[in-house]
Amino acid sequence: MGVSNALTVAVLAGGRSSEHEVSLSSGASVRDGLIASHHQVLWVEVGRDGVWRRDGERLQMSPGDGLLGADVVFPVLHGPFGEDGTVQGMLETLDVAYVGAGVAASAVCLDKVLFKDLMSAAGQVPQVDYVGVHLDGWRREPDLLLAEIARLGLPAFVKPARLGSSLGIVKVTAAELMASALEGAFVHDPQVIVEALASGIEVECGVLGRTDSERHAGGAQAIPSEPGEISFAHEFYDFEAKYLPGGMELRVPARISAAARERVRELAVEVFARAGCEGLARVDFFVDGDRVVVNELNTMPGFTPTSVYPKLMVASRISYPELVDRLCRLALERHERLRASAW
């Protein structure tokens, strides 16, 4: 890429959520990839206190003024206060292009219950069976909710609904342990999801948006990666398995049938579009023979050295520098489209 095509990119990393350190690692990798693509990078760290800082100094921002003169912002933020539409709304107010899903899609997809409810409304998206439990309802009618959860069978998985990176997951193997598992999850989030055990292997598929010229030529709004199979040393795919060295192994291509491969790729793009996503996403599945069910979608998957999304893209012949460059270009195109159609 020539220097004339270089962009100034503000990388946002850190954040208020419990995924602060993961975000810093992801952000550092994105920064390195952008530099390799000959872009200028402005590092903006969001502290655990929520303050945005550049070189240790608090940033002062005003609506409509952009961010540090950057052409585009790459918000490598995971979890609440970053991947849930809050930061995306702020960037919209600043009137600056940014990578990834917009406000609504970010909010919907981070909330596992809301996302699954939306996919259920679509009627054609096969999913892992689930029950959403809110703290208020749990306090009012615990016995009713436990009876509803019981239909999922055991073991079942209890998760905070709006955390990422597999944080706070508990595998429940006995009915008498369900209440305590729910109470533990409520410490993290008043909205909790309980999911049935899904048969088969875990398969993940990356999705990458297509440029305006590609879309005008026809076809889907995004392209799927080669699916990858997740295997791990732990009992299930928890935080340690996801982020610690040796915690998991990614096999690309996944050891699934040709029919299942095509179904995974088809569903990944369909779910991406139904949720209103932009730029990128990683969609997680369970595959048992030719049966494929959707588990969840991540609008800003990890970009750390051990993260699955960039590995899937590299396996699909899109290098890391090319990936982050393309995401910035997609962000600029979307920003121009929105400006052109401003109401």
Buried b (16+ CB within 10 A) or exposed e, 305-315: ebbbbbbbbbb
Q: Based on the residue annotation, tell me whether 184 is a catalytic residue of this protein.
A: no
Q: Based on the residue annotation, tell me whether 54 is a catalytic residue of this protein.
A: no
DSSP letter assigned to residue 174? S
Closest to 164 measured CA to CA, from 324, 296, 260:
296
Q: Based on the residue annotation, tell me whether 132 is a catalytic residue of this protein.
A: no
Closest to 224 measured CA to CA, from 339, 116, 331, 312:
312
Q: Based on the residue annotation, tell me whether 66 is a catalytic residue of this protein.
A: no
The three-state secondary structure class of 343 is coil
170 pairs with which residues across the strands? 158
115/122 Cα distance (integer angstroms):
11
Catalytic residue among 15, 265, 302, 334: 302
Q: Count CA atoms within 13 Å of residue 160 on its CB side.
A: 20
306/320 Cα distance (integer angstroms):
13
Catalytic residue among 23, 26, 29, 165: 165
Catalytic residue among 83, 189, 284, 333: 284
Where helices occur in the chain by DSSP H, the ranges are: 20-36, 86-94, 103-110, 112-122, 135-140, 142-150, 178-186, 212-216, 239-243, 258-274, 308-315, 320-340
Rounded alpha-carbon distances, angstroms, from residue 9 to 21, 318, 338: 21, 20, 19
CB 27 within 8 Å of CB 11 = yes
Closest to 97 measured CA to CA, from 51, 118, 66, 54:
66
DSSP letter assigned to residue 210? P
Q: Based on the residue annotation, tell me whether 237 is a catalytic residue of this protein.
A: no
Catalytic residue among 237, 243, 309, 320: 243
Place of tokens 């206060």: 81
Q: Based on the residue annotation, tell me whether 262 is a catalytic residue of this protein.
A: no
Helix%, strand%, coil% for the chain, nearest 5: 40, 25, 40
CB 198 within 8 Å of CB 293 = yes
Q: Based on the residue annotation, tell me whether 282 is a catalytic residue of this protein.
A: yes
Q: Based on the residue annotation, tell me whether 165 is a catalytic residue of this protein.
A: yes
Catalytic residue among 16, 261, 265, 282: 282
Catalytic residue among 14, 17, 19, 316: 19
Catalytic residue among 18, 29, 225, 298: 298
Catalytic residues: 19, 165, 243, 282, 284, 296, 298, 302
